[in-house]
Amino acid sequence: MIRSRNLFIGGLLCMIVLVAAFVSFFWTPYDITTMDIPNKLKTPNAQNWFGTDHFGRDIFSMIMIGARTSLAVAIVAVGIGMGVGVPLGLWAAAKKGGWADEIIMRGNDLVFAFPSLVIAILITAIMGAGAINAIIAIGIFNIPVFARLTRSGALSLWEREFILAARVAGKSKIRISFEHILPNVANLLIVQGTIQFSLGILAEAGLSYVGLGAQPPTPSWGRMLADAQTMVSFAPHLALVPGLAIVFAVLGLNLMGDGLRDMLDPKIRVVRS
Amino acid sequence: MLRYALKRLLSLAISLVVASLVIFAVIEVAPGDPASFMLGINAQPDTVAALRSELGLDVSKAERYLNWIGGMVRGDFGTSYTYRTPVGQMIADRMWVSLPLALYALALSTIIAFPAGIYAAARRGKPGDMAVMGATQLGVAVPNFWFAMMLVLVFAINLRWFSAGGFPGWDEGFWLALKSLTLPAIALALPQSAILARVMRSSLLDILGEDFMRSARAKGLSRRQALWRHGLRNALIPVLTIIGMQFAFLLAGGIIIEQVFFLPGLGRLIFQAISARDLIVVESVVMLLVFAVILVNFIVDLAYAAVDPRLRART
């Protein structure tokens, strides 16, 4: 029962974030592009559920739009990681032991060796701060994760009879990779995808916090925290709310990932019960 | 073992060369010429040219790369464009903040994670286990810089136990310096300890299912004795790998935490250098961090192989 509870709670949290981000395209409680100085630094109340910031903007509305930024960055970053990493992993497994495998895996080792945060900072600092470059910086580090996972999953599949049967039937390695290997590693990829997604949200928040992620006026949770830093002593809610939003989203994704893993991977389920 | 070590050493060297090439290339595509940046827009062309040659910027890219690498091997990291001081000295000064911070955080993380992980594994499926796992779930979801801000809010602003930031320097007394690193270290350590505790727990649980554990129980050891005598030692191997990786992460992850607490470490150095276009400093700090990560991984690999001979045969 525990596994379905994880999935349920995680899915619920993710759904709330997703809906908040989606609704923010059409409607937010207040317009966040206008200032309302007389109303500044209000603590949470009936009108402004999460209070207002130093410009009198409604924090609840900013959190909603910030969810959009976080999700967009994380989705594209995971997309880059999967889009490049999965084919590389499939290729490496199909040509196991060959030069392609060797180069891909050594390349992966190399990316792993870089402290991801430092390189992300380097990339955004050199190419300019902004959401797009933050996405690229985060996405690059997702590539080896998916390549490695795909390769290890695929390697064991290549030994199986049904793959042998496909080969005997005359299918090319590329076709087998996509038609038979990929569907069988999809579960692994989905679970890892949710984890990388949550790491992406954390990374985006970190980069935005040091001013290298989404730029104003685009609200982002990390930026809101950076803005809050000098005011934390007299307006703690400015720092509290965006931080809790990040925890909320990341926790939701992690729980969902755990739940999915237990549901999709029968082997782990046996060990646990 | 020797063959394995040599093989790993070779791949270490290759990694370093490729990493340095990547870093150099990334820095090269950066827009803006440091010399004209330093002199401002009204500088005479010949002044710029003179400075360029003084900074060693007027030679070919390949030559510049070789000069940079050759210098680093000899321990000469070049001269900072903006401060006109040796980069090696600047890095060494900042290291005295960043390295102790990383070690402090690592120690805290281990101290928290080991008992938590062992406790959870010993009570698998019981409320104690669930509580620990729930706490770690929360721990990995908390961004460390936000946690740092909350620590400042509670312990520096409200309770006034610690200062909200800054670093007095080791000359002002060991305990005072250590105290100013305490909140940053806790902020860095907590999310890491959550990960470490999970690894510790799952590694122990794996071991508990092994045949030799059943034999230990069969020969009459209690559950607890078997866990401490045979389980723990074997479970430590994967845990040590993670600790090695975490050290590298803590060293690099410190750079955002340093921003929160205004600590004069490598992180602040790198941000200052980036905004001042002091690329030689950026290049060298990044290379140093990468070197640290690769070296730690190398040491962990060797230690791993020394403990577990099966690994040597596999690669």
Contacts for A26 with CB less than 8 Å, ≥ 6 apart = none
- pLDDT for A167 beyond 70: yes
- Secondary structure (3-state) at A52: strand
Confidence of residue A1 (pLDDT cuts 50, 70, 90): very low
- pLDDT for B201 beyond 80: yes
Of A106, A110, A243, the CB nearest to B146: A243
Q: Cα–Cα distance between B76 and B71 in angstroms, integer?
A: 5
Interchain CB distance below 8 Å, A251 and B141: yes
Contacts of A224 in chain B (CB under 8 A): none
Percentage of chain A modeled with pLDDT above 70: 94
DSSP string of B102-127, one letter each residue? HHHHHHHHHHHHHHHHHHHHHTTTSH
What pLDDT, on the 0 to 100 scale, is given for residue B111?
A: 93
For A231, the token pair is 């005011």
Contacts of A208 in chain B (CB under 8 A): none
Confidence of residue B206 (pLDDT cuts 50, 70, 90): confident
Cβ of A109 under 8 Å from any chain B Cβ?
Answer: yes
A63-92 residues touching B, CB cutoff 8 A: none
Contacts of A229 in chain B (CB under 8 A): 149, 260
What pLDDT, on the 0 to 100 scale, is given for residue A251?
A: 92
Of A125, A236, A255, the CB nearest to B153: A236
Q: Cα–Cα distance between B243 and A34 in angstroms, integer?
A: 48
- Mean pLDDT within B55-84: 78
Of A119, A126, A205, the CB nearest to B143: A205
Q: Tell me: domain A5-20+58-264, CATH 3.40.718.10, correct?
A: no
What pLDDT, on the 0 to 100 scale, is given for residue B311?
A: 63
Spell out the domain ranges in chain B.
1-82+276-315, 95-275
Contacts of B153 in chain A (CB under 8 A): 232-233, 236, 239
For B306, the token pair is 């020394």
Cβ of A255 under 8 Å from any chain B Cβ?
Answer: yes
- The CATH architecture one would assign to domain B95-275 is Orthogonal Bundle (1.10)
A187-206 residues touching B, CB cutoff 8 A: 198, 202, 205-206
Contacts for B227 with CB less than 8 Å, ≥ 6 apart = B118, B121, B122, B204, B208
Confidence of residue B315 (pLDDT cuts 50, 70, 90): very low
The residue of chain A with its CA nearest to that of B276 is A125
Q: Cα–Cα distance between B289 and B285 in angstroms, integer?
A: 6
Q: Which of A70-84, A179-193, B61-75, B200-214 has the highest mean pLDDT?
A: A70-84
Q: Which of B249-253, B290-294, B302-306 has the highest mean pLDDT?
A: B290-294
- H or E segment and range at residue B164: none
Q: Which of B190-194, B210-214, B253-257 has the highest mean pLDDT?
A: B190-194
What pLDDT, on the 0 to 100 scale, is given for residue A87?
A: 92
Q: Cα–Cα distance between A205 and A208 in angstroms, integer?
A: 5
Q: Cα–Cα distance between A33 and B200 in angstroms, integer?
A: 48
Cβ of A209 under 8 Å from any chain B Cβ?
Answer: yes
Percentage of chain B modeled with pLDDT above 90: 8
What does each C-alpha distance from B177 to B183, B254, B267 come to in angstroms?
Answer: 12, 16, 18
What does each C-alpha distance from A181 to A80, A108, A144, A146, A173 come to in angstroms?
Answer: 20, 21, 18, 14, 10
Interchain CB distance below 8 Å, B293 and A115: yes
What pLDDT, on the 0 to 100 scale, is given for residue B21?
A: 87
Cα Rg of chain B, angstroms: 24
The residue of chain B with its CA nearest to that of A243 is B146
Confidence of residue B312 (pLDDT cuts 50, 70, 90): low
ipTM value, please give it: 0.83
- pLDDT for B313 beyond 70: no
Rounded to a whole number of angstroms, the distance from the CA of A125 to the nearest CA of chain B is 7
